[in-house]
């Protein structure tokens, strides 16, 4: 159960999802203080407003992310079955996030306007301690890949 002294639900929304929401960057923080500092920093820097950040924490967060589809009933289970048959990546990412939440970490979903903005926001949040990024685009999760090493000179 989340510590009431550090719980973020009173400050940010938590939205139950079935399909990956479009234009949201998901990120994991290892602790509440780190997540709170990131939220405060994004707001202070004008990078995110009050309605732009969803926070997921503890068992409630796992239920909201609903990796099994059970929280959405029969319809949710059918959607997860179809997702797993078509691509296991989305369900796998939700399971990764659920595992992080069960270990006491926090997940934020920050509104972004495009994949380009998601990359820039991921760079900002990585500097603030975030990891395990994915962008909700076109109803699926797209992993954020940071710069790749340059090819050696010939």
pLDDT digits (tens, 9 = 90+) for 96-129: 899 999 999 999 999 999 889 999 999 999 999 9
Give the β-pairing of 53-57 and 24-29: unpaired
Report yes or no on 153 lying in a domain. Answer: no
Q: State the average pLDDT over residues 53-57.
A: 92
Report yes or no on 1 lying in a domain. Answer: no
Alpha-carbon dihedral of residues 29, 32, 35, 38, nearest 10 degrees?
-140
> Which residues span the domain enclosing 128?
24-143
Which residues are within 8 A (CB) of 112 and not within 5 positions of it... i.e. 6 or more apart? 23, 24, 25, 118, 121, 135
Check residue 85 and give its pLDDT: 66
Q: How far apart are CA 78 and CA 121, in angstroms?
A: 33
Q: How many domains are there within the chain?
A: 1
pLDDT digits (tens, 9 = 90+) for 137-150: 766 677 788 765 44
Report yes or no on 128 lying in a domain. Answer: yes
Q: State the average pLDDT over residues 61-87.
A: 73
């Amino acid at each position: 159960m989340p510590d009431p002294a550090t719980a973020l639900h009173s400050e940010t929304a938590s939205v139950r999802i079935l399909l990956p929401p479009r234009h949201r960057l998901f990120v994991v923080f290892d602790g509440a203080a780190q997540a709170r500092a990131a939220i405060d920093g994004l707001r202070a820097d004008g990078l995110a407003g009050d309605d732009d950040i969803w926070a997921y924490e503890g068992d409630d967060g796992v239920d909201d992310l609903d990796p099994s589809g059970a929280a959405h009933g029969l319809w949710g289970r059918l959607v997860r079955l179809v997702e797993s048959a078509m691509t296991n990546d989305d369900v796998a990412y939700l399971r990764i996030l659920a595992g992080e939440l069960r270990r006491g970490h926090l997940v934020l979903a920050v509104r972004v306007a495009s994949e380009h903005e998601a990359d820039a926001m991921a760079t900002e949040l990585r500097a603030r301690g975030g990891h395990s990024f994915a962008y909700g685009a076109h109803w699926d999760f797209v992993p954020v890949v940071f710069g790749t090493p340059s090819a050696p000179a010939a």
